[in-house]
């Protein structure tokens, strides 16, 4: 693991960040447009897309987390300690919520006997047997946490914009491709 000696994110970290942003936005859109999942809902159309996107998000999240751990970036020295701690907590929350939501969705799909393909290719093993009660409950928790994640994402975006337009520091530009951050 390398030491965080630079305050700039490289192109791989930036690409993974924006890929995840696009994937989560697409997943929210599909989730809102797809039919409510009930006992007779088939795994087709937008429901199938939702499951495939979940598998892509899970895979991308794993790649992003490994990259972040193996290529750490130092916080800006100009940030007060409380902002550095809050930023670390917010990022950990984003990772944890995204992981929890995808795992709970995977369990809910397992409840219905549906496959979850990793990156749309490799079917992951079921997390629970078809009809397992806790996996059904996982689907309900999945839905609630989606709204929590949306709130944390909104705060993340608001903080980045505040730093850029209010404080006029480098926090946002460090994650923009082609910008000298």
Q: What is the mean pLDDT of residues 157-167?
A: 95
Task: Report whether pLDDT(178) > 80.
Answer: no
- Report how far apart, in Å, the C-alpha atoms of 173 and of each of 10, 21, 33, 94, 147 are: 12, 16, 33, 20, 27
Give residues with Cβ within 8 angstroms of 136, minimum separation 6: 108, 111
- Most distant pair of Cα atoms in the chain: their distance: 56
| Kind and range of the H or E run holding 14 | helix 11-33
Task: Report whether pLDDT(2) > 90.
Answer: no
Task: Report whether pLDDT(164) > 80.
Answer: yes
pLDDT at 85: 94
Domain boundaries of the chain, sorted by first residue: 11-175
At residue 134 the predicted structure's pLDDT band, cuts being 50, 70 and 90, is: very high
Provide the CATH topology of domain 11-175.
Fumarate Reductase Cytochrome B subunit (1.20.950)
Task: Report whether pLDDT(5) > 80.
Answer: no
Q: What is the pLDDT of residues 68-102, one digit of tens each?
A: 999 999 888 899 999 999 999 999 999 999 999 99
Task: Report whether pLDDT(22) > 80.
Answer: yes
């Amino acid at each position: 693991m390398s030491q965080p000696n630079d305050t700039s994110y490289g192109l791989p970290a930036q690409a993974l960040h924006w890929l995840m942003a696009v994937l989560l936005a697409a997943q929210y859109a599909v989730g809102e447009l797809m039919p409510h999942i009930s006992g007779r809902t088939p795994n087709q159309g937008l429901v199938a897309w939702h499951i495939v996107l979940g598998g892509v998000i899970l895979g991308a999240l794993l790649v992003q987390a490994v990259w972040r751990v193996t290529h750490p970036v130092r916080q800006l020295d100009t940030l007060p300690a409380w902002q550095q701690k809050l930023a670390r907590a917010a990022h950990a929350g984003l990772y944890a919520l995204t992981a929890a939501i995808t795992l709970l969705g995977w369990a809910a799909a397992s409840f219905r006997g549906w496959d979850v393909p990793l990156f749309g290719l490799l079917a992951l093993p079921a997390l629970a047997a078809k009809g397992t009660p806790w996996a059904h409950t996982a689907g309900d928790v999945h839905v609630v946490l989606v709204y929590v994640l949306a709130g944390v994402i909104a705060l993340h975006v608001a903080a980045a914009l505040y730093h850029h337009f209010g404080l006029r520091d480098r926090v946002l530009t460090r994650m923009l491709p082609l910008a000298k951050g």
